[in-house]
């Protein structure tokens, strides 16, 4: 079956483009002596995580325990949860994971550290812990070397925990200066920093010029999306995921309605300088998806010389491919426009 | 178990508030002689659709065939798909549904009409068809009485199809003037308009003053959300769905990070005049959820006199409850803060 014959709306991933993306990132990391630890949030598919490891990835990254559990069930055995886990329930689940696979977690506060410590006690397994610092993103991560050092000391002093180094997201100039400040301070306290983990697909290709990271956590590079193209980190030809949709209404000359809305594309936008709308229609570069409701995409086609017709199948490059994956129970894989198969996405919806 | 002990993030629905919302809408419709045909998009749960019918609803509304199939499987037997269905695959699925339950669809163009006609032929069952017109929303729906009449004539002339009337979304002043224009034009063509179907929870309570609708399609009223409160159609006490989250990081004095982001709350905003941010924290009215990434909610707590602490459980009223439902495989129901059960959501993710 050809992809354009699929019932819509449907996300379709081109396997050749995906494979090229995978290899390119592995090659980049190999060339620069960086360990690749891909983030599975983009595909949420064990078989693709396995493919990443096969190509040379040193373990994988997950954001939530639920994702890690799915991956461990599928045989992935070296998992980093780059996220502060807090509370009894999380400790139990982390312990269960640590009993069967090599686990590492990130902390930026004492409660997350205590959760990891409890998991180590319960499991009897050693758990790696990295300290997250903020490189300017203003999300999680300690802001000072002093805070990082205090946590690192406590990790090193806690039975069952192993201080694995520092992490940040995304990698920036501040990553380098933070490390430069941290090295002597840690050394003075008798601690080495075994590793620096950086992340972020948009800046991946120039990371060797930015900061001396030892490990790269990237997710989006496997499929790419409009935001990645906007960041200059990919071209449209590198976008492996396309959403196919149908024009289900043409109620006015300048308006087309697609059968995909926020339940398919999400309501994520891209940075204003990248462009307007909720996705890019490569065959209609002058069309703008101006609004998404749950099941409707409203497209302003007034500036299109040739306009999409009622009933026509159209392609959309999503703004943000990871969230499209999360919205779907399965994804279609294709090669040269021919459908290879439709695979369930076992790690979708794992918010806990 | 108390709801505050649940592992987070987790959407929780208060059954008493929900039941009150259900009854109030049914009472309103009864008082004004309007048939209630609730939209299941908000809950996506057959058992709640059944409850709505039990309370007096005359059938249900779905947006996609996949939702209708789940509902039909559960015994719901009068289903309106208020959405243009186009193409062979949709026709086959509509035919299969029409063989076992009473089906009605909406059309605003000849291809959707042809799809309904094909389904009627294939199934041998009569399918009700309404013509959608635009009351100013600028999404689907014909813009002129002439177009509506042309479609209605074709419906009436097509074997297996039954012209059921007109529909629009949402109900507005234009709904009334369109009907006033349409009645004589249709009559002249030998057609009565059997029914006018209007919709939209935000304007539901005043619809009797706005336009003489015969049927009301509303979804959000069952749970309510911040957008409904903003529209004046509900109070915070009427919001049956709450998302419980945990403060997983407090990296700076003015910043708290929650373990819920766009994978839990979606990235849907409310109208600027309703307020900023990606949800409302009722216990911290001065907090603003300024950013959501997939798994992080960044909260500006700088203006809070008392600030949420690391590890604290917090409540969030989502901006848009329907999309929260769609993001989750299951939802917890509670009464007086005590967990009643966690139910899978079988019609979530039904984009086709």
* pLDDT, tens digit (0-9, with 9 covering 90-100), for A1-27: 999 999 999 999 999 999 999 999 999
CB A59 within 8 A of CB A82: no
Question: Which two structure tokens, joined as six digits, stand for B202?
Answer: 């935000």
> Which pLDDT belongs to residue B309?
98
CB pair distance less than 8 Å for B251 and A310: no
Mean per-residue pLDDT for A38-57?
Answer: 98
Does the beta-carbon distance from A7 to B90 stay under 8 Å?
yes
Residue showing tokens 């500036």: A303
In this structure, the dihedral spanned by the alpha carbons of residues A317, A320, A323 and A327, taken in order and rounded to 10 degrees, is -20
The CATH number of B3-9+227-344, from 2.40.160.10, 2.60.40.1180, 2.160.20.10, 2.40.37.20, is 2.40.37.20
Say what the pLDDT of residue B85 is.
98
| Cis peptide, bond prior to residue A9, ω within 30 of zero | yes
User: How far, in Å, CA of A269 to CA of A227, rounded?
Assistant: 9
Q: How is chain A split among helix, strand and coil, in percent rounded to 5?
A: 35, 25, 40
Contact criterion met (CB < 8 Å) for B139 and A298: yes
At CA A102, angle to CA A153 and CA A59, rounded to 5? 105
Please list, in sequence order, all residues whose beta carbon lies within 8 angstroms of the beta carbon of residue A94, skipping any fewer than 6 positions away. A65, A81, A85, A103, A105, A115, A116, A119, A123, A127
Q: Given this model, what pLDDT does residue B296 score? A: 98
pLDDT value for A89: 97
Dist CA A297 CA A292 (whole Å):
5
User: What's the pLDDT tens digit per position in A103-112?
Assistant: 999 999 999 9
Specify the pLDDT at position B186: 98
**Interface residue of B251, B268, B320, B346 to substitute, partner A, most A CBs within 10 Å:** B251
A-chain CB neighbours of B259 within 8 Å are 86
**DSSP per-residue letters across B196-259:** EEEE-STTGGGHHHH---SEEE--GGGT--HHHHHTTS--GGG--EEEEEEEEEEEETTEEEES
E-strand ranges in chain B read 10-14, 35-36, 60-62, 78-81, 102-107, 127-132, 161-167, 196-199, 215-217, 241-252, 255-258, 279-280, 288-292, 297-300, 313-318, 330-335, 338-344
Q: Return d(Cα B151, Cα B141) in angstroms, integer.
A: 11
Could you tell me the pTM of the whole model? 0.97
B15-224 placed in CATH 1.10.30.50: no
Yes or no: say if A348 and A40 are a contact pair by the CB < 8 Å rule: no
The DSSP letter of residue A52 is H
Average pLDDT over chain B reads: 98
- Per-residue pLDDT of chain B (352 residues), as tens digits, is 999 999 999 999 999 999 999 999 999 999 999 999 999 999 999 999 999 999 999 999 999 999 999 999 999 999 999 999 999 999 999 999 999 999 999 999 999 999 999 999 999 999 999 999 999 999 999 999 999 999 999 999 999 999 999 999 999 999 999 999 999 999 999 999 999 999 999 999 999 999 999 999 999 999 999 999 999 999 999 999 999 999 999 999 999 999 999 999 999 999 999 999 999 999 999 999 999 999 999 999 999 999 999 999 999 999 999 999 999 999 999 999 999 999 999 999 999 9
Q: Are B322 and A294 in contact (CB under 8 A)?
A: yes
Token output for A235: 């071209």
Contacts of B327 in chain A (CB under 8 A): 326-327, 349, 351
| Rounded Cα gap, residues A143 and B274, in angstroms | 33
Test B83 with A248 for CB contact under 8 angstroms: yes
Q: Check residue A59 and give its pLDDT.
A: 98
pLDDT of residue B32: 98
Predicted pLDDT of residue A131: 98
Instruction: Tell which A residues from 190 to 209 touch B, by Cβ distance under 8 Å.
Output: none
pLDDT tens-place string over residues A231-255 = 999 999 999 999 999 999 999 999 9
* Average pLDDT of the residues in A329-341: 98
Three-state SS at B125: coil
- pLDDT of B273 reads 95
A75 touches chain B (CB under 8 A): no
Q: State residue A333 phi and psi, 5-degree precision.
A: -110, 140
Percent of chain A predicted with pLDDT > 90 = 100
Q: How far is CA A176 from CA A6, A183, A243, in A?
A: 48, 11, 38
Indicate the helix (H) or strand (E) that contains A197: strand A196-199
**Angle between helix A110-123 and helix A145-157 axes, rounded to 10 deg:** 20
| Contact between chains at B267 and A264 (C-beta distance less than 8 A) | no
Residues within 8 A of A (CB atoms), B 212-251 only: 246, 248-251
Looking at the DSSP bridge assignments, the partners of residue B215 are B35, B197
- Two structure tokens written together for B20: 């009150």
Pick from B112, B249, B268: which is nearest to A84 by CB? B249
Within 13 Å of residue A313, how many CA atoms lie on the same side as its CB? 14
Residue ranges per structural domain of chain A:
3-9+227-344, 15-224
Q: Which of residues 120-159 of A touch B (CB under 8 A)?
A: 134, 138-143
Which of the four pLDDT bands, split at 50, 70 and 90, describes residue A220?
very high
Return mean pLDDT, chain A: 98
Contacts with A194 (C-beta within 8 Å, 6 or more apart), sequence order: A163, A164, A165
Is A83 in CB contact (< 8 Å) with chain B? yes
Chain A (295-334) residues lying within 8 Å, Cβ to Cβ, of chain B? 295-296, 298, 310-311, 322-323, 326-329
Q: Which is nearest to B167 in space by CA: B234, B233, B213?
A: B213
Q: Tell me how far apart the alpha carbons of residues B181 and B19 are, in angstroms, rounded to a whole number.
A: 39
Q: Which residue of B248, B300, B320 to mutate against A (max A Cβ within 10 Å)?
A: B248
Chain A partners within 8 Å of B266 (Cβ): 262, 266-267
Task: Kindly list the residues from chain A whose CB atom is less than 8 angstroms away from the CB atom of residue B7.
Answer: 87, 89-90, 352
Instruction: Tell me the C-alpha distance between B314 and B280, whole Å.
Output: 11
Sequence length of chain A is: 352
Q: Do A351 and B89 touch (CB under 8 A)?
A: no
Residue with tokens 């509902």: B71
Instruction: Report how many Cβ contacts below 8 Å link chain A to chain B.
Output: 160
List the A78-81 sheet strands across, edge first: A35-36, A215-217, A196-199, A161-167, A127-132, A102-107, A78-81, A60-62
Instruction: Band the pLDDT of A102: cuts 50, 70, 90.
Output: very high
């Amino acid at each position: 079956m050809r992809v354009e014959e699929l019932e819509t709306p449907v996300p379709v991933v081109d396997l050749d483009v995906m494979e090229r993306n995978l290899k390119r990132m592995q090659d980049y990391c190999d060339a620069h002596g960086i360990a690749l630890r891909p983030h599975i949030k983009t595909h949420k598919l064990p078989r693709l995580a396995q493919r990443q490891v096969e190509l040379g990835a040193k373990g994988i990254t997950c954001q939530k325990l639920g994702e890690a559990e799915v991956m461990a069930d599928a045989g992935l055995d070296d998992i980093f949860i780059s996220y502060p886990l807090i509370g009894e329930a999380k400790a139990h689940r982390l312990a269960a994971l640590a009993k069967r696979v090599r686990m590492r977690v990130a902390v930026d506060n004492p409660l997350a550290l205590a959760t990891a410590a409890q998991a180590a006690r319960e499991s009897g397994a050693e758990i790696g812990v990295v300290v997250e610092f903020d490189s300017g993103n203003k999300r999680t991560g300690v802001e000072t070397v002093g805070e990082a050092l205090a946590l690192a000391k406590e990790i090193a002093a806690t039975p069952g925990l192993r201080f694995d180094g520092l992490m940040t997201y995304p990698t920036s100039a501040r990553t380098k200066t933070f490390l430069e400040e941290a090295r002597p301070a840690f050394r003075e306290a008798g601690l080495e920093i075994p590793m620096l983990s950086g992340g972020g697909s948009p800046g991946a290709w120039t990371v060797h010029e930015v900061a001396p990271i030892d490990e790269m956590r990237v997710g989006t590079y496997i499929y790419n999306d409009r935001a990645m193209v906007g960041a200059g980190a990919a071209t449209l030809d590198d976008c492996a995921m396309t959403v196919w949709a149908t024009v289900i209404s043409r109620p006015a000359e300048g308006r087309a309605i697609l059968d995909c809305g926020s339940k398919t594309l999400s309501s994520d936008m891209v940075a204003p300088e990248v462009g307007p709308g909720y996705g890019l229609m490569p065959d209609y570069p002058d069309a703008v998806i101006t609004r998404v409701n749950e099941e409707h995409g409203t497209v302003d086609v007034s500036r299109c010389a040739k306009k999409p017709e009622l009933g026509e199948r159209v392609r959309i490059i999503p703004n943000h491919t990871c969230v499209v994956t999360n919205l779907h129970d399965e994804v279609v894989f294709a090669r040269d426009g021919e459908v290879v198969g439709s695979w369930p996405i076992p790690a979708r919806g794992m918010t806990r």
